[in-house]
Chains A and B, each alone.
Chain A
Amino acid sequence: MTVTLFIPCFVDALYPRAGISMVEILERLGHTVVCPEEIACCGQPPFNSGYHAEARAIATPVLEKLADAEAVVIGSGSCGAMVKNFYPELFKATRHAELAKQVAARTWEFSDFLVSKLGVTDLGAKFPHKVTFHDGCHGLRELGIHKQPRALLANVRELELVEMTEVSCCGFGGTFAAKFPMISTAMGEVKCASAAETGAEYIVSSDSSCLMHIQGLLSRQGKPTKTISLAEVLNHQ
Chain B
Amino acid sequence: MSTFVSDFKTRATEKAGDLRHRQVIRTALRGYEIVRDKRKAAFQSWESARQAAAETKWEAVNHLDKHLEALTAKLEARGTKVHWASTGEQAREIIAQILRDKKARCIIKSKSMTSEEIHLNHALEKEGFTVVESDLGEFIVQLRHEPPYHLVFPSMHLTRGEIKDLFQKELGDAPSDAPEELTMVARRVMRQKYITADVGFTGANFAIAETGMISITENEGNARLTAALPKTMVTLIGIEKVLPRFADLALFLPMLATAGAGQPMTCYNTMYSGPRQPGECDGPEEWHVVLLDNRRTELLADAEQRDALHCIRCGACLNVCPIFRNVGGHTYGTTYSGPVGAVITPHLRGLQEWKHLSNASSLCGACTEACPVKIDLHHHLLQNRRNASASEPAFFERLAYQIFGIVANEPAFWSLAKKLGWLTQPLQKAVKGSALDPARAWTKTRDLPAQPRESFKDWWRNRK
Q: A residues touching B (Cβ–Cβ < 8 Å)?
A: 7, 9, 11-16, 19-20, 23, 35, 37-38, 40-41, 43, 45-46, 48-52, 54-55, 57-58, 61, 137-138, 140-142, 168-169, 171-174, 176-188, 190, 212-213, 215-217, 219-220
Contacts and interface: CB of A to CB of B under 8 A. Distances in A.
A137 to B, nearest CB: 4
Given A187-B322, A215-B449, A50 B12 contact: no
A179 B362 contact: no
Contacts of A180: 9, 12, 359-360
B327 interface: yes
Nearest to A188: B446
A183 B408 contact: no
Interface in B365-406: 365-366, 368-369, 382, 384-390, 393, 397-398, 401-402, 404-405
B405 A58 contact: yes
A209 to B, nearest CB: 11
A220 B432 CA distance: 12
A54 B402 contact: yes
A15 B364 CA distance: 23
A72 B445 CA distance: 36
Interface of B: 9, 12-13, 16-17, 22, 322-323, 325-327, 359-366, 368-369, 382, 384-390, 393, 397-398, 401-402, 404-405, 407-409, 411, 414, 418, 421, 441-442, 444-449, 451-452, 454-461
A24 B362 CA distance: 32
A57 B405 contact: yes
B409 A183 contact: no
A16 B368 contact: no
Nearest to B359: A179
B304 to A, nearest CB: 11
B411 A38 contact: yes
A52 B383 CA distance: 11
Nearest to A179: B359
A213 B362 CA distance: 12
B364 A49 contact: no
B438 to A, nearest CB: 10
B369 A11 contact: no
Nearest to B22: A186
B401 A46 contact: yes
Contact of A182 (B16, B322, B384, B414): B16
Contact of B398 (A54, A171, A182, A219): A54
A14 B367 CA distance: 31
- 7 closest A-B pairs by beta carbon, nearest first, are A173-B362, A216-B446, A50-B385, A50-B389, A169-B364, A141-B365, A137-B364
A54 B390 CA distance: 11
B16 A185 contact: yes
Given A20-B459, A40-B414, A50-B387, A142 B362 contact: no
Nearest to A208: B449
A169 B378 CA distance: 13
Given A40-B408, A141-B368, A181-B444, A176 B401 contact: no
A140 B359 CA distance: 21
A30 B386 CA distance: 43
B449 A14 contact: yes
B364 A173 contact: yes
Contacts of B459: 16, 19-20
A169 B322 contact: yes
Contacts of B387: 50
Nearest to A180: B360
A13 B451 contact: yes
B47 to A, nearest CB: 13
Nearest to B383: A50
Contacts of A142: 365
Contact of B455 (A12, A43, A181): A12
A144 B418 CA distance: 33
Given A46-B401, A52-B386, A54-B402, A183 B365 contact: no
Given A49-B397, A51-B389, A137-B365, A183 B326 contact: yes
Contacts of A168: 322, 364, 366
A128 to B, nearest CB: 25
A71 B322 CA distance: 35
A16 B452 contact: yes
Contacts of B16: 182-183, 185-186
A179 B404 CA distance: 17
A79 B299 CA distance: 31
Residue picked from A7, A19, A186, A213, most chain B C-beta under 10 Å:
A186
A171 B322 contact: yes
A212 to B, nearest CB: 6
B403 to A, nearest CB: 10
* Best-surrounded residue of A49, A52, A57, A216 (most CB of chain B within 10 A): A49
Contacts of A46: 401, 404-405
A91 B447 CA distance: 36
B449 A15 contact: yes
29 contacts: A7-B456, A9-B414, A12-B457, A14-B449, A16-B452, A16-B456, A19-B459, A35-B460, A38-B411, A45-B404, A48-B385, A49-B385, A51-B397, A52-B386, A54-B402, A54-B405, A57-B409, A168-B366, A173-B363, A176-B360, A178-B442, A179-B360, A180-B9, A181-B444, A181-B445, A182-B13, A187-B326, A190-B322, A215-B447
